[in-house]
Amino acid sequence: MASLPFNTIPINLPFSVSTKPSSKHHDDQALNPSSSSYFHRVSSLCKNGEIKEALSLVTEMDFRNLRIGPEIYGEILQGCVYERDLCTGKQIHARILKNGDFYAKNEYIETKLVIFYAKCDALEIAEVLFTKLRVRNVFSWAAIIGVKCRIGLCEGALMGFVEMLENEIFPDNFVVPNVCKACGALQWSRFGRGVHGYVVKAGLEDSVFVASSLADMYGKCGVLDDARKVFDEIPERNVVAWNALMVGYVQNGMNEEAIRLFSDMRKEGVEPTRVTVSTCLSASANMGGIEEGKQSHAIAIVNGLELDNILGTSLLNFYCKVGLIEYAEMVFDRMVDKDVVTWNLIISGYVQQGLVEDAIYMCQLMRLENLKYDCVTLATLMSAAARTQNLKFGKEVQCYCIRHSFESDIVLASTVMDMYAKCGSIVDAKKVFDSTVEKDLILWNTLHAAYAESGLSGEALRLFYGMQLEGVPPNVITWNLIILSLLRNGEVNEAKEMFLQMQSSGISPNLISWTTMMNGMVQNGCSEEAILFLRRMQESGLRPNAFSITVALSASANLASLHIGRSIHGYIIRNLQHSFSVSIETSLVDMYAKCGDINKAEKVFGSKLYSELPLYNAMISAYALYGNLKEAIALYRSLEGVGLKPDNITITNVLSACNHAGDINQAFEIFTDMVSKHSTKPCLEHYGLMVDLLASAGETDKALRLIEEMPYKPDARMIQSLVASCNKQHKTELVDYLSKQLLESEPENSGNYVTIANAYAVEGSWDEVVKMREIMKAKGLKKKPGCSWIQIKGEEEGVHVFVANDKTHIRINEIQRILALLLYDMC
């Protein structure tokens, strides 16, 4: 055996190496029978994980001058591999080196050392030893590929696979799974296919290990058809194979397929594991499948699966996502070793339910358990601030983030921006955006969302072109947001143009793109076009979901087209039977009422699946529309019996029913009931309806007294009612008073100008309407999102008129008077 000097051993090994060659193992100790009994004792200690004891036996052997063969060192190293005991292994390595080349240059020992370091994730040492190997066999290759794969150096692992083949060392059923894993992580499906070819050639495809990892690889690459094919051809499928395919389905959004696979698996009598149940729970959570998730939970219990952290958090995630917070609390209480993930889930569960107080309380408890907030906790709290529009709380959380150096977390930056945007502070959102160094597409989109929400289409467009100049290509979401910002700002034609541009840039509109267009059309008074967009979406092969159907129903209602409304109802019955929701039922009632078929509205209401307030509100509103005061009141009175408490909308609807019928007494009864029975404060709109009622009955003084009593500033609508009433009675000094009120309350409120313009529109004075628009422009005021425009036919192009409220009738000279006051105020 060639002798090499010891100092060629890499000096970066983390222990010192004796340079003195030892000689005692040359004694003829091999004949000593106790040597083999030592081997057995060492071997059994190692298998029980008692490495330290095994090591002291070796020391004892050394002391008694017994021959220590390579197999003993091999055994101890293997023990260190089982225990992932890097420290003890290094000591063994030191002894091996101390004992000289007989051991240090033994192929078995050298390979074992590589395997040991690799298994302990000490890649650098393993690689140094590996490069020094004179003989590289399948085992050492497998170890190196394995460690690279584990620590995420996937390209390196795949290069190793190629190099192995070049050196004619053939990867076996231990190497291939790791190679597959690397392909999956990199989503290199073409490389994966090559590996699959090798597997077939090498005859490895019958190994469950190989086949399940191939199925997993195809799943991770999104090629589910091939994953399924591989899976179907496995001769003896084990639970891991089932799990791998199921995970593939879930990761690609095919949740229903995953659940179906689970039931097939149970039919074949394969026992589910915690992984199976976790995966099913993810699928159930994603698709909102309450029954599926509950059954998965039941199966976990029946099969006696241990509630470990991962299964527990899967359950928590599921119950939180579907809104069953009580069940989530039960699971949470039963979990023993709660970690940050566990706490984050229950906290986010509370936030999703709007229970921000509970969320904050849980945060305090979490701190008492000595757990620190991580970026997920903070992102959740930030989203709570955004939901509740609590700017102060949001800033506190942001300060915490800054103090604890979480600024570099890009997800957190997105939530901070979203919080500022939701709290109406776009400038601060932009500041956060600018100060974030590494921007990802989501961050860009978050700012787009902020602009879209407020209809700042100019800013949005600048951002849109800016990002492309910086080489960030917009995705569907970006395009949808740009379109939304245009629509929110009333720029219908520009939005349609953008919609076309998106398609010519190679991005096809998704469900949300189409629905955004539809909804935007409805909001901008183009309901016919909304229906056209619905048809075109269906032609493109996309199926409308519950929300798009709701929008289509409101378009039908606006068009008062029973024909279209019925056809959409038909579509719901044919295709959305299972996703019947409160909002769909509500929209149906509303549609039938507005299309003139109150009987059908009653019929839909009568066969409702849900018993929720919005549905009752819609029906009461329908009765109000038809002036059926008795029915409206009866329905309102019946709420208590079904355990529902009327809200502001209910009262508004009942009061407007009274309004239509001109029944002041009934209205007053409802109005006072509200405070005494339901202890709710009337809102501005309720006062408005009462004022309206009194004013149109000529009770101007009473109306005025009510205005002075109420805890709100009067709005333009109220003033209008009064103006109309005053007009009849020629009380001009009152009009002066009211106009002043209007100016004092909100001179910058575009709504006031809109109201006045509305009145002009009703009177047919288009010149005055145009003038109002110009004043708004000069003041830099923009129409609020959701406020409708209508194009006046036969008028000069570009002239828009606000949709007039049905009951607005103001004498033209009074309008001029108010306008004069407004202009005076501006100068």
Partner DNA sequence: ATAGGGTTAG
Q: Which of 114, 221, 443, 667 touches DNA (CB under 7 A)? A: 443
What is the 8-class DSSP label of residue 789? E
Q: State residue 607 phi and psi, 5-degree precision.
A: -105, 30
The SS3 assignment for 801 reads strand
Residue owning tokens 């979401």: 477
Q: Which of 311, 553, 689, 722 touches DNA (CB under 7 A)? A: 311
In the complex, minimum distance from the CB of residue 529 to DNA, in angstroms, rounded to a whole number: 15
Q: Pick the stretch among 414-422, 555-563, 788-796, 819-827 that binds DNA (CB under 7 A).
A: 414-422
Q: Which of 9, 153, 360, 411 touches DNA (CB under 7 A)? A: 411
In the complex, minimum distance from the CB of residue 256 to DNA, in angstroms, rounded to a whole number: 17
The SS3 assignment for 259 reads helix
Spell out, one character per residue from 289 to 308, where the chain touches DNA: x when CB under 7 A holds, - when not: -------------------x
Nearer to DNA among residue 284 and residue 628 (C-beta): 284
264 contacts DNA (rule: CB under 7 A) = no
In the complex, minimum distance from the CB of residue 321 to DNA, in angstroms, rounded to a whole number: 7
Beta bridge partners of 801: 790
Beta bridge partners of 791: 800
The 3-class SS string of 395-430 reads HHHHHHHHHCCCCCCHHHHHHHHHHHHHCCCHHHHH
Q: How many residues bind DNA (CB under 7 A)?
A: 73
Ranges within 335-394 binding DNA (CB under 7 A):
339-342, 344-345, 348, 374-377, 379-380, 383
Ranges within 482-501 binding DNA (CB under 7 A):
484
Beta bridge partners of 789: 802
In the complex, minimum distance from the CB of residue 415 to DNA, in angstroms, rounded to a whole number: 5
Quote the distance between the C-alpha of residue 372 and its chain's center: 24
No. of helices (H) and no. of strands (E), the chain: 46, 2
Which ranges of 151-223 would DSSP assign to H, the alpha helix?
Answer: 154-166, 175-186, 189-201, 208-220
Q: Which of 511, 683, 776, 812 touches DNA (CB under 7 A)? A: 511
Quote the distance between the C-alpha of residue 134 and its chain's center: 53
Q: Pick the stretch among 135-143, 430-438, 506-514, 810-818 that binds DNA (CB under 7 A).
A: 506-514
53 contacts DNA (rule: CB under 7 A) = no
In the complex, minimum distance from the CB of residue 363 to DNA, in angstroms, rounded to a whole number: 12
In the complex, minimum distance from the CB of residue 280 to DNA, in angstroms, rounded to a whole number: 10
In the complex, minimum distance from the CB of residue 149 to DNA, in angstroms, rounded to a whole number: 8
Integer Cα distance of 55 and 652 in angstroms: 84
Amino acid identity of residue 730, one-letter, is H
Nearer to DNA among residue 208 and residue 792 (C-beta): 208
Asked if residues 174 and 210 have their Cβ atoms less than 8 Å apart, the reply is no
Nearer to DNA among residue 123 and residue 622 (C-beta): 123
Ranges within 529-548 binding DNA (CB under 7 A):
545, 547-548
Q: Pick the stretch among 413-421, 711-719, 759-767, 783-791 that binds DNA (CB under 7 A).
A: 413-421
Q: Pick the stretch among 77-85, 137-145, 274-282, 590-598 that binds DNA (CB under 7 A).
A: 274-282
Q: State residue 818 phi and psi, 5-degree precision.
A: -65, -40
In the complex, minimum distance from the CB of residue 477 to DNA, in angstroms, rounded to a whole number: 4
In the complex, minimum distance from the CB of residue 99 to DNA, in angstroms, rounded to a whole number: 33
Amino acid identity of residue 242, one-letter, is W
Integer Cα distance of 349 and 316 in angstroms: 8
Element (H, E) at 800: strand 800-802
Q: Which of 75, 110, 292, 418 touches DNA (CB under 7 A)? A: 418
DSSP letter string, 177-191? HHHHHHHHHHT-HHH
Asked if residues 243 and 273 have their Cβ atoms less than 8 Å apart, the reply is yes
Asked if residues 588 and 620 have their Cβ atoms less than 8 Å apart, the reply is no
In the complex, minimum distance from the CB of residue 548 to DNA, in angstroms, rounded to a whole number: 5
173 contacts DNA (rule: CB under 7 A) = no
Q: Pick the stretch among 334-342, 464-472, 590-598, 675-683 that binds DNA (CB under 7 A).
A: 334-342
Q: Pick the stretch among 196-204, 513-521, 628-636, 803-811 that binds DNA (CB under 7 A).
A: 513-521
The 3-class SS string of 91-128 reads HHHHHHHHCCHHHHCCHHHHHHHHHHHHHCCCHHHHHH
Ranges within 314-333 binding DNA (CB under 7 A):
314, 317
Nearer to DNA among residue 45 and residue 376 (C-beta): 376
503 contacts DNA (rule: CB under 7 A) = no
Nearer to DNA among residue 385 and residue 618 (C-beta): 385
In the complex, minimum distance from the CB of residue 91 to DNA, in angstroms, rounded to a whole number: 27
Element (H, E) at 630: helix 629-638
398 contacts DNA (rule: CB under 7 A) = no
Q: Pick the stretch among 175-183, 574-582, 637-645, 779-787 that binds DNA (CB under 7 A).
A: 175-183
Of the candidates 783, 787, 785, 784, the one whose C-alpha atom is nearest the C-alpha of residue 805 is: 787
Check the CA dihedral 29-31-37-40 and report its sign: positive
In the complex, minimum distance from the CB of residue 769 to DNA, in angstroms, rounded to a whole number: 28
Ranges within 224-243 binding DNA (CB under 7 A):
238-241, 243
629 contacts DNA (rule: CB under 7 A) = no
Q: Which of 78, 106, 414, 659 touches DNA (CB under 7 A)? A: 414
Ranges within 540-599 binding DNA (CB under 7 A):
545, 547-548
The SS3 assignment for 214 reads helix
In the complex, minimum distance from the CB of residue 677 to DNA, in angstroms, rounded to a whole number: 36
66 contacts DNA (rule: CB under 7 A) = no
Nearer to DNA among residue 274 and residue 717 (C-beta): 274
Spell out, one character per residue from 190 to 229, where the chain touches DNA: x when CB under 7 A holds, - when not: ------------------xx--xx--x-------------
Which ranges of 540-581 would DSSP assign to H, the alpha helix?
Answer: 546-559, 562-575
Residue owning tokens 């056209």: 532
The SS3 assignment for 790 reads strand
What are the strands, taking DSSP E only, across 580-662? none
Integer Cα distance of 536 and 270 in angstroms: 46
Q: Which of 114, 175, 449, 735 touches DNA (CB under 7 A)? A: 449
Nearer to DNA among residue 312 and residue 646 (C-beta): 312
In the complex, minimum distance from the CB of residue 248 to DNA, in angstroms, rounded to a whole number: 9
Q: State residue 790 phi and psi, 5-degree precision.
A: -140, 140
Of the candidates 748, 679, 683, the one whose C-alpha atom is nearest the C-alpha of residue 718 is: 683
Q: Which of 99, 106, 173, 278 touches DNA (CB under 7 A)? A: 278
Integer Cα distance of 443 and 432 in angstroms: 10
Q: Which of 111, 189, 255, 445 touches DNA (CB under 7 A)? A: 445
Residue owning tokens 């469900």: 511
Integer Cα distance of 455 and 426 in angstroms: 12
Ranges within 86-125 binding DNA (CB under 7 A):
none
Integer Cα distance of 399 and 447 in angstroms: 21
Nearer to DNA among residue 133 and residue 441 (C-beta): 441
Nearer to DNA among residue 177 and residue 714 (C-beta): 177
Q: Pick the stretch among 51-59, 67-75, 94-102, 438-446 that binds DNA (CB under 7 A).
A: 438-446
The SS3 assignment for 791 reads strand
What is the 8-class DSSP label of residue 235? S
Nearer to DNA among residue 100 and residue 312 (C-beta): 312
Ranges within 676-715 binding DNA (CB under 7 A):
none
Burial 71-106 (b: 16+ CB within 10 A, else e): ebbbbbbbbbbeeebbebbbbbbbbbbbbbebbbeb
Asked if residues 722 and 739 have their Cβ atoms less than 8 Å apart, the reply is no
426 contacts DNA (rule: CB under 7 A) = no
